[in-house]
Structure 1
Amino acid sequence: MSSNFTDIVGAADLRDREADPASAYDTDVVIVGTGPTGGTAALALASYGIRTMMVSQWSWLANTPRAHITNQRAVEVLRDLGVEEEARRYAVPWKEMGDTLFTTSLAGPEIARLQTWGTGDARSGEYVQASPCTMLDIPQTYMEPLLVKNAAERGAKVSFSTKYLGHAQDEHGVTVRLLNRNSGQEYSVRARYLIGADGAKSQIAEEIGLEIVGHTARAGTAYVRFHADLSRYVQHRPSILHWIMNPAAAFGEIGMGLLRCVRPWNEWIAGWGFDKEAGEPDLSIEAVTAQIRTLVGDPSLELEVEGVSTWYVNQQHALSMSKGRVFCGGDATHRHPPSSGLGSNTCMQDAFNLAWKLAFAIKGYAGPALLETYSTERVPVGAQIVARANQSRLDYAPLRDCFNTDAGNGTRTVEAGLARLRATTAEGAELRQRLGQALELKNYEFNAHGVELNQRYASAAVVPDGTPEEKFERDPQLHVQPTTRPGAKLPHAWLVDASGRRVSTLDVTGHGKFSLVTGLSGQAWKQAAERLDLPYLRTVVVGEPGYEDPYAYWAKARETEEAGALLVRPDGYVAWRQLSSVWEADEAEAQLREALETILATPLRHPVPAR
């Protein structure tokens, strides 16, 4: 590692900070796009005191509630950024997300149910133990304003009706060209870094030459937003997803239609597949009204169509997510169907991973090499969730095969399918057994706790501790395995603060800083941190007032001796750990210094303030 600080952070950047950064840069970071990626990045950067400008070519935010499932990790991000409670006011609560139904129509006979999103008797305890946050259902029409409003309140500048035209980056920064769509004026903004959160047709990803692998437009789906009071069909069995298996309508690749509750119980989305080779489907008001009435099972249903659209199933992810001073994330780098509810969650986590690294680089706490770990850590996650979402679509086939509606006279009817499934015959018994097995398979979509929380980072921002490779005790897609291994998310455990209130280990770490976590016997670590006196490092001594462990939950979760230590990154991931006791402050300081210098790719020095 170079000992020359200016070689690492860049001589030009250091001179700019020593002089007047406002004269060299109009802002620190320009973000193109106001979706979950852009909004989370802007909120985090503004919270960290970074000058941020976010632009959107549109006049306002999301006009459709497309993304909605908000998993525990995404809610933890909201919690860290101080907006969890506000988000809950706009959400369908966890318990009301409820069962997922497989039925012939909302009014008709059910075929099967699955307790989903961790709400079921068999899984809810795991979800409660894994996080201080529950899952929530927050439509994108509510999530985007929440993120953008709070980012603006914390100092981010937001420009709507502002089209991104292009950029030019050099050794010292990025010049971004923009167009005010209202006035027609073109202008440029000089920034240190650029974030491309500009969606699945990302201009920025194309400009920096990101290699995207996979397939596009595998299947077509029609979505219709509508209003209708369906409470009489669903209020007694709350659920946000109802899969309809009915041959009276054509349902494409999956063979099922969908009714998704946006707001209980009068705002909905109806979805069904279509043959993309045959062109766009008939989406006239008459056609979609008839289709919705079939899905609901009410031929006289009064409804109001709000909007219609089509989308295509993609299976793509980027092999890298940055080039130089330009970074992409979210749908710009991973494109997939909404199955498994992973889309906006992954977008938000991309941004959360990137934001603290940019903040540390801008403030001079870290060298440029830290920024390279963004791509290293997030590319495997993007590949994983793209594969999982597409596999979840394929996993409907066994369920569909259990409901054979062939009436034997050239027609298909619900009655024929139900008769086979309910027959008191060997064939009926076999079908019911297969139906149970098909339901179990759908846990990989609807109760995939491990997919959501088991991400492990391997990069230069994680220091291995020399322990053997991790082995998962249960299926790593279905079950979360908390661990303090470097590269894993810090486990949640309840502590008690000085006032007697419960606080999570996630509450006393994060928030834009590194955290050194040790026990009462770890006074050497506390002394070491005091000696280093770094503005971005806090010490958490579990057992001291404010961090009591009366339940002994942390003692069970820490996987170290009491006088061992963990170094937790601002994004909540363990960067380094010392398993055994260290008693001398000199040794602790040497180990801590080496770990931080490795992770941050710079010698520990107090940098010149960014502004």
Structure 2
Amino acid sequence: MNPKVDDRVPVLIVGGSLVGLSASLFLGRLGVRHLLVEKHSGTSHHPRGRGNNVRTMELLRVAGAEAGIREAASVLAENHGILQADTLTGTEQEWLFREIDPGGALARFSPSSWCLCSQNDLEPVLLRQARELGGDLRFSTELVSFEQDADGVSALLRSRETGEERTVRAEYLIAADGPRSPVRERLGIGQSGKGELFHNVSITFRAKRLAEAVGDRHFIACYLTNPQGPGALLPVDNQEQWVFHAPWHPEHGEPLEAFTDERCVAHIRTATGVPGLEVEITGKAPWHAAERVADQYSAGRVFLAGDSAHEMSPTGAFGSNTGIQDAHNLAWKLAAVLGGWAGPGLLDTYTTERRPVARVTAERASARSAEHSHPGYDAVPGTGRQAGVLAVALGYRYPEGAVAGGDPDQPVVPESFRPTGEPGSRAPHLWLLRAGVRLSSLDLYEQALVLLTGSRGASWQAAAQRAADRLAVPLDTYRIGTGAEDDLAPEPGTDWAELHGVGPEGAVLVRPDGFVAWRSASAPADQEAAVGEALRTVLGLG
């Protein structure tokens, strides 16, 4: 006899931190009803995970959350660069990098930019946006157990406040339940990678006079290398609230209880080089840096996202960004399958696309920690400093997956970033005018697939619409040009076709997540057949 089902929902999200909240936001934008459960009573109170890269901000821009996030992040808007110093008052000072975007070159490639917003400030914005879209988000609620069959997932949930238990039946489950993921463990999915790298204790504190020692060096983080007191200092408000990451060595038997308030105060004074600094400890949280990637990202109807799928060294904030991008990749695919306009095989491409990206990115994160001599990490850096951070943020691609015409021999993350418009790569950004309103081409990609053509593309539009209607696939088409009948006008000096790697009679098909699905350099004899074949290949329609 089947157990009583209290709730039915298309998607159940387990975990309400950055990745789970992002998944809720993205699904809500796509009209997918879902339930999110989080065992803690609310969003994070600890200022961590602060670096949001340009790709993440592009996704949150399209989702309507960018303005709220930048407002929440305004106190650190002028902080730039990573400083390495013996102490704040010492003579050995070196900027590992001074500006995230020197010279403003990023504006050529994106309508967005990096944003320094701590997790405790970012999560409430995502929560508010997700709830405004109708998301059902329940805190103090934990997943007790789950079972799946060919048709869905049955999950037993428990309120940590009342003890009440309810059974939820979902078609799919997203596990964003952290690096020790009980869901991943229950599924028996293994991990590979270097494993544990180092351990830190994150200490939040108040120190009014510390701003005097910092002066005008408004850094993102400062790595303090005094052997008697190494650590990383991060500003919270640039005035009196700070975070200090102190090395911790549990592998040598050092207990967490050894980090008393007195020890932490003395360590901070030594590290900063301000002996009489008045310090008030306000919180402590241990964290573990590791390099691990799940051997698979799904099992049946259950999908891993964020830290449950991959762990990365924190240097560069690659982990949280990769997790949010996981959620974005998965959201449109779930929406397509649930909406009936894609085959279930589309969901298999989630692992195909995202796992290779995580493997390469995790390796880059570990190398960057070694290069920056992150406190507590004793690995020897490679020769020369890493280049191509923008390649990791914007250049990652899907040589295989929900793509027609991808090149499986291409590296997942190139050494340097160059927008090409190739299938499997992020669609290039260009500024456009629509009825006199300026928008980025990236703003077009969310609710449906998009076909871009030039002024000569009227036949492409008609043929593509016929193919999409026959397959019941949502498709928007836009002609880009300066003619009266064109839908979008490029800014002067911009050649949309060249930017996307096609000729003036070509066409480009872009997925809802802003990745190029297919392109045709010129117009074939049967445009409808060409678009139809691309749609079937990309969406797994057979």
Please report the TM-score for the alignment, with normalisation by the length of structure 1: 0.81
Q: Distance in 1 between matches of 2:454 and 2:270?
A: 61
- Pair 392,460 (structure 1): closer, same or farther in 2 beyond 3 Å: closer
Query: Which one of the candidate residues 507, 530, 547 is aligned to 2:465?
Result: 530
Structure 2 equivalent of residue 19 of structure 1? none
- Pair 128,112 (structure 1): closer, same or farther in 2 beyond 3 Å: same
CA contact (8 A) 1:94 1:135 kept: no
Structure 1 equivalent of residue 305 of structure 2? 329
* Post-superposition offset of 1:530: 3.3
* Post-superposition offset of 1:330: 0.3
- Pair 94,271 (structure 1): closer, same or farther in 2 beyond 3 Å: closer
Asked if 1:168 is matched to 2:147, the reply is: yes
Asked if 1:505 is matched to 2:505, the reply is: no
**Residue identity matched to 1:537:** L
Query: Which one of the candidate residues 210, 235, 248 is aligned to 1:261?
Result: 235
Asked if 1:377 is matched to 2:353, the reply is: yes
Q: Distance in 2 between matches of 1:176 and 1:274?
A: 37
* Post-superposition offset of 1:93: 7.8
- The range that moved more, 565-574 or 180-189, is 180-189
Q: Distance in 1 between matches of 2:406 and 2:190?
A: 33
Q: Distance in 2 between matches of 1:65 and 1:184?
A: 30
* Post-superposition offset of 1:146: 1.4
Structure 1 equivalent of residue 428 of structure 2? 491
Asked if 1:600 is matched to 2:536, the reply is: no
CA contact (8 A) 2:96 2:372 kept: no
Structure 2 equivalent of residue 66 of structure 1? 48
- Pair 535,555 (structure 1): closer, same or farther in 2 beyond 3 Å: closer
Equivalent residue pairs, number: 524
Structure 1 residue matching 2:337: 3-state secondary structure = helix
**Residue identity matched to 1:221:** N
Asked if 1:222 is matched to 2:201, the reply is: yes
Q: Distance in 2 between matches of 1:490 and 1:93?
A: 32
Q: Distance in 2 between matches of 1:312 and 1:38?
A: 20
Q: 1:179-198 counterparts in 2 under 5 A?
A: 179-198=158-177
CA contact (8 A) 2:158 2:165 kept: yes
Structure 2 equivalent of residue 412 of structure 1? none
CA contact (8 A) 1:71 1:134 kept: yes
Q: Distance in 2 between matches of 1:57 and 1:399?
A: 31
Percent identity among equivalent residues?
35
* Post-superposition offset of 1:156: 0.9
Structure 2 residue matching 1:219: 3-state secondary structure = strand
In structure 1, list runs of 5 or more residues that go unmatched: 1-22, 252-256, 401-437, 604-611
* Post-superposition offset of 1:183: 1.5
- Pair 343,84 (structure 1): closer, same or farther in 2 beyond 3 Å: same
Structure 2 equivalent of residue 588 of structure 1? 527
Q: 1:47-196 counterparts in 2 under 5 A?
A: 47-92=29-74, 96-116=78-98, 118-121=100-103, 124-125=104-105, 127-196=106-175
Query: Which one of the candidate residues 272, 287, 295 is aligned to 2:271?
Result: 295
Q: Distance in 1 between matches of 2:85 and 2:391?
A: 28
Structure 2 equivalent of residue 547 of structure 1? 488
Asked if 1:341 is matched to 2:314, the reply is: no
* Post-superposition offset of 1:546: 4.9
Structure 2 equivalent of residue 515 of structure 1? 450
CA contact (8 A) 1:565 1:578 kept: yes
* Post-superposition offset of 1:333: 1.0
- Pair 502,218 (structure 1): closer, same or farther in 2 beyond 3 Å: same
Structure 2 residue matching 1:599: 3-state secondary structure = helix
Asked if 1:31 is matched to 2:7, the reply is: no
Q: Distance in 2 between matches of 1:52 and 1:545?
A: 38
Q: Distance in 1 between matches of 2:215 and 2:441?
A: 37
Q: For residues 299-344 of structure 1, what are the alpha-carbon distances to aligned partners after superposition, in whole Å with 9 as ceiling and x for unaligned?
A: 2222321111222221211121001111111000111220121111
Q: Distance in 1 between matches of 2:233 and 2:406?
A: 48
Structure 1 equivalent of residue 392 of structure 2? 451
Q: For residues 234-262 of structure 1, what are the alpha-carbon distances to aligned partners after superposition, in whole Å with 9 as ceiling and x for unaligned?
A: 3522211111121332x4xxxxx210122
- Pair 535,25 (structure 1): closer, same or farther in 2 beyond 3 Å: farther
CA contact (8 A) 1:235 1:265 kept: no
**Residue identity matched to 1:522:** G
CA contact (8 A) 2:396 2:414 kept: no
Give the superposed CA RMSD: 2.5
* Post-superposition offset of 1:512: 2.1
- The range that moved more, 143-152 or 222-231, is 222-231
Structure 1 residue matching 2:161: 3-state secondary structure = coil
* Post-superposition offset of 1:601: 1.5
Asked if 1:355 is matched to 2:291, the reply is: no
- The range that moved more, 238-247 or 31-40, is 238-247
Query: Which one of the candidate residues 222, 225, 237 is aligned to 1:245?
Result: 225
- Pair 119,270 (structure 1): closer, same or farther in 2 beyond 3 Å: same
Query: Which one of the candidate residues 569, 572, 576 is aligned to 2:518?
Result: 576
CA contact (8 A) 1:498 1:545 kept: no
**Residue identity matched to 2:301:** R
Q: Distance in 2 between matches of 1:47 and 1:348?
A: 15
In structure 2, list runs of 5 or more residues that go unmatched: none
Structure 2 residue matching 1:581: 3-state secondary structure = coil
More strand by share: 2
Structure 2 equivalent of residue 415 of structure 1? none
**Residue identity matched to 1:451:** V
